[in-house]
C-alpha cells in the first residue's frame, strides 16, 4: 500500500486523498460572504427599537409568534425578516441580531449585525416623528462596531470582513407615508417629485459614507408598492379600498431615480458593487395574484381587523389562526411567508452576483 509523508507520521495515500478532498470541499462550501450588515427601517429592524424610548416597538405578542421559540423580538412580523432569511441562505446564521440587544456581543455581530430602526427614513425629520434612530446615528453605531470588530478579529481580518460583507439597506417608505403625506412641513417645502430628489440626494450621501468606511457590496432596496399596504387601502375610501395608485406611482418614480443613482455611484466609486434590489415587482405580483403563492388574503393583515392595527394595537387575542394565508402580518408589514418569497426572489436576481 502506498504511503504519503504527512508531518512526522505516515498515513495511507487513500486517507490523505480523502482529507484533501474534504479540505477542498470545505473551501468551496465556505460562505463567500463573511457577514450580513443591515441598515434601514422596520422592514429590516430586528429589535433595536426595544432599547430606545419610542412607541414604535413590537417586542410583545402576537409579534414573533412564529419566530424561533414563539418569542417576540422587536421584529415587525410574525416570524423572520428578509435579512434573517438571506443570512441563512448564504451560509451564515439564521438570524441577524440587533446591535443594541445586550444579549448579543461582537462574537455574534462578527457574522451579522442590524443597525436598523423601525420608523426611520433617509430624511432626519422622519425619525423625529416617532423618536427613533436616524440614519446618521445608524452609521455612527456602525463606526463603533468597526472598532469592536478590529479588536475582536484583528485589523486585517476585520478589514476583510468589512469589505466582503453583504450590506442590506431597506429604507424610504416612512419618508413618504409617515412624514411627507402625513405632516405639512415637507409638503410646504417640496413637491412630491422634489422630495423624491431630496431623498435620492440623502441616499447618495449615505452610500458614499459606507464606501468611505470600507463597504463594497451593497444592496439598495427600492420602495414597495406602498399604496397597496392595508393601511393605505383602508384610507382609500373613494376607490372602494383599492390600492392607492398615486402612492404606487410615486414608488415607481422614486425607484427609477434610485436605479439611476446606483448606476452613477458604481461609475464614480472604484471597486463599489452596488445593486438595486427591486422588491416592488414581486411584492405587487403577490398582492394582485395571492393564490399563485398560496395566500388567501391580500387586502388586510392577520393582526386584528388587518385594516389599521400595528404595534401596540395588535392584540394577541384577536389575530388570524394561520399567518401563512395572509400576505400581510399587520396593516403595514408583510408576513414571514411573504418575506421569504421576496428574499428568495432577490437572491435569484439582484443578490445573485454576491452569492
Q: Which residues pair with 5 in a beta bridge?
A: 10
Q: Is 333 a catalytic residue?
A: yes
Task: Say which of 333, 343, 345, 350 is annotated catalytic.
Answer: 333
Task: Say which of 66, 175, 278, 330 is annotated catalytic.
Answer: 330
- The string of DSSP letters for 105-117 reads -HHHHTTEEE---
The conformational region for residue 131 under phi > 0 = left, psi -120 to 50 = alpha, else beta, is: left
Q: Is 71 a catalytic residue?
A: no
Task: Report how far residue 105's alpha carbon sits from residue 18's, in angstroms, rounded to the nearest whole number.
Answer: 37
Task: Say which of 41, 42, 45, 66 is annotated catalytic.
Answer: 42
The conformational region for residue 64 under phi > 0 = left, psi -120 to 50 = alpha, else beta, is: left
CB atoms within 10 A of CB 209: 15
The conformational region for residue 73 under phi > 0 = left, psi -120 to 50 = alpha, else beta, is: alpha
**Element of type H or E holding 134:** none
Positions marked active-site? 42, 330, 333
Amino acid at each position: 500500500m502506498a504511503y504519503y509523508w504527512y508531518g512526522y507520521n505516515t498515513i495511507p495515500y487513500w486517507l490523505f486523498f480523502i482529507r484533501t478532498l474534504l479540505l477542498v470541499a470545505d473551501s468551496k462550501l465556505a460562505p463567500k460572504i463573511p457577514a450580513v450588515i443591515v441598515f434601514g427601517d422596520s422592514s429590516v429592524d430586528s429589535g433595536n427599537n426595544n432599547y430606545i424610548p419610542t412607541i414604535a416597538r413590537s417586542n410583545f405578542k402576537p409579534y414573533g409568534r412564529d419566530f424561533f421559540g414563539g418569542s417576540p423580538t422587536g421584529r415587525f412580523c410574525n416570524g423572520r425578516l428578509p435579512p434573517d432569511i438571506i443570512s441563512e441562505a448564504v451560509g451564515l446564521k439564521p438570524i441577524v441580531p440587533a446591535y443594541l440587544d445586550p444579549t448579543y456581543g461582537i462574537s455574534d455581530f462578527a457574522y451579522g449585525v442590524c443597525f436598523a430602526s423601525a420608523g426611520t427614513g433617509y430624511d432626519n425629520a422622519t425619525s423625529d416623528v416617532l423618536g427613533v434612530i436616524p440614519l446618521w446615528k445608524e452609521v455612527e453605531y456602525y463606526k463603533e462596531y468597526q472598532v469592536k470588530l478590529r479588536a475582536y478579529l484583528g485589523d486585517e481580518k476585520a478589514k476583510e470582513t468589512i469589505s466582503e460583507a453583504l450590506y442590506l439597506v431597506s429604507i424610504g417608505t416612512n419618508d413618504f407615508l409617515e412624514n411627507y403625506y402625513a405632516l405639512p412641513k415637507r409638503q410646504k417645502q417640496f413637491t412630491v417629485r422634489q422630495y423624491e430628489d431630496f431623498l435620492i440626494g440623502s441616499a447618495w450621501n449615505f452610500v458614499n459614507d459606507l464606501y468611505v468606511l470600507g463597504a463594497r457590496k451593497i444592496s439598495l432596496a427600492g420602495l414597495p408598492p406602498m399604496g397597496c399596504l392595508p393601511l393605505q387601502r383602508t384610507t382609500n375610501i373613494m376607490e372602494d379600498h383599492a390600492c392607492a395608485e398615486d402612492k404606487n406611482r410615486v414608488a415607481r418614480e422614486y425607484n427609477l431615480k434610485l436605479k439611476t443613482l446606483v448606476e452613477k455611484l458604481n461609475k464614480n466609486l472604484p471597486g463599489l458593487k452596488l445593486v438595486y434590489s427591486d422588491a416592488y415587482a414581486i411584492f405587487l405580483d403577490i398582492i394582485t395574484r395571492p393564490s399563485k403563492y398560496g395566500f388567501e388574503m391580500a387586502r388586510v393583515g392577520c393582526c386584528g381587523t388587518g385594516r389599521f392595527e400595528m404595534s401596540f394595537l395588535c392584540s394577541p387575542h384577536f389575530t388570524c389562526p394561520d399567518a401563512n394565508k395572509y400576505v400581510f402580518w399587520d396593516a403595514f408589514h408583510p408576513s414571514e411567508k411573504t418575506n421569504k418569497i421576496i428574499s428568495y426572489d432577490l437572491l435569484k436576481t439582484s443578490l445573485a452576483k454576491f452569492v
